[in-house]
Amino acid sequence: MNWTGDPGRSSDGRRERAAEVGRKAGEGLAAASELDGDGVDAHGGLDAGDSDGGDSDGAGPAGGDGPAGDRLGGPYRGLDTLRLSDPKAMRVLAHPLRITLLGELRVRGPQSVGMLCEIVDEAPGSVSYHVGKLAEFGFVEEAPELARDRRERWWRAVHAYTSWSPSEDLKDPARHQASGELRRTIARRYAEVFEQYLAAEPAMDPDWVRASTTGDAFLHLTLDQMRELQSEVNDLVERWEARSVANDRTGTQTAVLVYQLFRRPE
């Protein structure tokens, strides 16, 4: 699964300030959450991980060969993937507002508390508390060099992705329960973002609506075939992600791609 954040809820003034930060710090990352076979890895709040076939240091949909920050560029160039195994950290991230805040920081780049409040429509005290919890477990850090005065607090994402392995989590019931809570939070976030799209669709350019798609398929596969399909989907997403990064942003809009592959429960 790959999640690229929550675009489109910013004021013109916030966009101007973000553009100023972009000139100082570079372009923001996509906040992604990927399910790489067995794993879950995430930019911006959502998380996907590595397949049982082996650990991957690349944080793209298919893992890749290098750190996600190197592949994606921007202010997180050189940043790697945070591998989650601590149930406490999983539970901290399994909060809808924290998932959103981390996603926004990875999508948009560093933000002040005030800017985050505008994006998520929450009070400064609430945003500060939840960003502080993310910082406590190493998901974000302060960016004091961006503040214009002592009252302004800026935050940045520390990693390009967060990842964990559900099959490894099966070995520890507490860890698997925490992993499940986190994935359920992410699934609800996916649904929320799609609901936002449906609400906004009537005002969109019809060409962009025609370029959108949703669908599903039920396939009869062997385990090896399912692994092959997983690899092909990951490769496809990684290729388009690399192409997205290479764009000069002229004429582009943020697109959200969500994908899932799993055995249907009996």
Whole-number pLDDT of residue 115: 96
The reported pLDDT for the residue numbered 12 is 35
Report residue 161 as tokens: 């992705």
- Is residue 91 exposed (0-12), middle (13-18) or buried (19+ Cβ within 10 Å)? middle
Cα–Cα–Cα angle for 250, 254, 256, rounded to 5 degrees: 150
Specify the pLDDT at position 40: 53
**The domain defined by 12-246 carries CATH number 1.10.10.10:** yes
> What does the domain layout of the chain look like in residue ranges?
12-246
List, for the chain, all residue ranges whose pLDDT scores fall below the cut of 50. Answer: 1-37, 42-78
pLDDT value, residue 241: 85
Q: In this predicted structure, what is the pLDDT of residue 38?
A: 54
Q: Which residues share a beta bridge with 60?
A: 63
Q: Strand 33-34's sheet: what is its strand order?
A: 33-34, 40-42, 161-164, 81-83
Please give the pLDDT value at position 19. 42
